């Protein structure tokens, strides 16, 4: 995969093990169905080693509007998640995978990762916190 394969708009189309992941992140259980039933959309673009990702969700309320993260590959930045939380992250691109590394995902020192990979015209996002991993699938 080339990093330019990410360019465009991607909409969520399914998931695996998302309940366990949401629980591990501390998401209140009363929000699980809302998060899982919403459509998460990513819009990617890049200019050299600078990547822009706009994220929005139909399940996000007024306190969780669409947001945009712009970062340089290999440099730490402040990532704003779809939940509105701010976390330090470093993003790299290697082996056809865009990998976000969070050294302190939950404010308690727990490491987290998010790996995005395009294959067969579909985007797979693998998210992990501690030992819990989930996948979210996207189509253009």
Assign residue 124 the CATH number of its domain: 2.40.128.20
Q: How many CB atoms lie within 10 A of CB 95?
A: 9
Residue 1, pLDDT above cutoff 60: yes
Number of structural domains found in the chain: 1
- Distance from C-alpha of 30 to C-alpha of 118, rounded to nearest angstrom: 32
Residue 81: CB partners within 8 Å, gap ≥ 6? Answer: 87
What's this model's pTM, rounded to 2 decimal places? Answer: 0.88
Which residue range forms the structural domain that includes residue 66? Answer: 3-139
Contact of 42 with 55, CB cutoff 8 Å:
yes
Q: Name residue 56's beta-bridge partners.
A: 41
**Residue pLDDT, tens place only, 13-71:** 999 999 899 889 887 777 677 667 767 889 999 998 899 999 887 765 555 567 899 99
């Amino acid at each position: 995969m080339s990093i330019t394969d990410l360019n465009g708009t991607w909409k969520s189309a399914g998931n695996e093990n998302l309940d366990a992941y949401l629980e591990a992140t501390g998401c209140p259980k009363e929000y699980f169905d809302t998060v899982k039933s919403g459509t998460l959309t990513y819009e990617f673009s890049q200019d050299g080693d600078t990547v822009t990702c706009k994220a929005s969700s139909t399940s996000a309320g007024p306190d969780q509007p669409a947001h945009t993260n712009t970062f340089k590959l290999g440099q730490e930045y402040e990532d704003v998640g779809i939940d509105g939380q701010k976390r330090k992250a470093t993003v790299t691109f290697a082996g056809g995978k865009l990998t976000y590394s969070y050294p302190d995902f939950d404010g308690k020192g727990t490491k987290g990762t998010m790996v995005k990979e395009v294959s067969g015209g579909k985007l797979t996002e693998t998210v992990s916190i501690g030992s819990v991993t989930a996948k979210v699938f996207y189509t253009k």
